[in-house]
Amino acid sequence: MKSVSLTFDGVMKPKTEDSKPPYHPSLNYLRFLRRHRCPSSSLLLLAALLASFSILLFFFSSSSSSFLAHRLPSSSSSTPPFGGRDWERQVRSSARPRARNLTVLVTGAAGFVGAHACLALRRRGDGVLGLDSFAPSYYDPSLKRSRQALLLRHGVFVVDGDLNNPQLLAKVFDVAPAFTHVLHLAAQPGVRHALRRDPSPYVSSNVAALVSLLERIKNADPMPALVWASSSSVYGLNSPVGPSSESDRTDRPASLYAATKKAGEEITHAYNHIYGVSVTALRLFSVYGPWGRPDMAYYSFTRDILRGRPVKVYEGSVRDFTYVNDIVRGCLAALDTAKGSTGSGGRKRGNAEMRTYNLGSATPVPVAELVDVLERVLGVKAVRKVVPMPRNGDVLFTHANITLARRDLGYEPATDLKTGLKRFVRWYRSYYTIKKNS
């Protein structure tokens, strides 16, 4: 595999060798926003748990055997062994801070946001240890391995293992220097995937793995603070009457993915209340950029446009596209401002911090406009197939209210869609040229 490096502007890049949109109410709302830039009205604060858990309970009752097959380690599993002197040396070296005082365990480290976050932490001198299961996914696993290789070249070791393996987690926490923070980004993503295939990985990865991690965190001494990725999907079937705020209702998920993320928010609240775990949940909005997930619209559109294939555009669909570097800055700001947990060894010694923030661009864009930008950047005309949004599994409109993140985290998205897509396309062309020639 040929080397991959970061460019000076923070974009991860492999080294090379030498029409008007159709009418839809959500688009009218978007035009109104652009004219008036008015703040959203205050919406009702509702404690919402029943819908998410009813879906999960139904899943458990109907697919328990399939779920357990995904959740429990097997003696015949191909999971690589852990431990040994060389493994322990790599864990300690990676987790040791260079110039700062944070020691961060990043789960999902070989994923899209996880890889970027690990590199950002390493660049500023934090101790950072990655963990990723490299589980069979619905995109080419070589992309995850390429991210892992990139991280290793920058001094970040990624433990190959499953969060649902308690012995592995115990070993990691025992060998590494005491973690001050855990940045939990591991998840089974994608809102439509569960409709087409086996949904059990969503519960195994997004619920069971979270509980397994929280069990290890609450028994640690000292107990690290948790910052984790929830999702804008928790806003579910709310009407697109304004930007989504952290106080909006989240009891009507449109997908199993959204339900598992909502369940995660309630589970972390319980560990915060019972054990004093410091918790910050980050609701991420439509992240895009270099090293992204091939199932995301901007990525698959790029591939299909270059191949002359039709791109499927959902009529009236609008997204709050957010560049990955902006998301990572928000993640690091959440780590830096998180107060410590108040418990240790499974015992609470006071009330701990519990925070929730939206991280988005606060600039929703019609998906049809995303295709327009890609056409200009690629220099290729897209073959468009405009179809109605499916009735199940996804939402038509997303828009983040980032007022709280601006106030508390100093969060300010800095990358517009055209700039971000130019960086992505530059990476895409380079990565797949090298992949083709290697």
Residues marked active site are found at 257
| Torsional class of 211: left (φ above 0), alpha (ψ -120 to 50), beta (otherwise) | alpha
Strands of 291-364, DSSP E: 310-314, 318-319, 322-323, 343-344, 347-348, 354-359
- For residues 431 and 424, the answer to whether their CB atoms sit within 8 Å is no
Q: Which two tokens stand for residue 217?
A: 């965190």
DSSP assignments along 265-279, one per residue: HHHHHHHHHHH---E
- Written as one letter, the residue type at 232 is S
Helix axes 297-307, 417-437, angle to 10 degrees: 60
Distance CA(146)–CA(251), nearest Å, equals: 38
Q: Which two tokens stand for residue 418?
A: 């055209």
3-state class percentages of the chain: helix first, strand second, coil last, to nearest 5? 45, 15, 40
- Written as one letter, the residue type at 204 is S
DSSP classification of residue 208 = I
DSSP assignments along 224-263, one per residue: PEEEEEEEGGGGTT--SSS-B-TTS-----SSHHHHHHHH
- Whether omega for the bond prior to residue 81 falls within 30 degrees of 0, making it cis, is no
- Written as one letter, the residue type at 421 is L
Q: Which two tokens stand for residue 95?
A: 């987790």
Distance CA(173)–CA(205), nearest Å, equals: 20
Inter-CA distances, 208 with 37, 71, 334, Å: 41, 7, 24
Q: Which of 107, 106, 205 minimizes the C-alpha distance to 164?
A: 205
Strands of 117-241, DSSP E: 127-132, 158-160, 181-184, 225-231
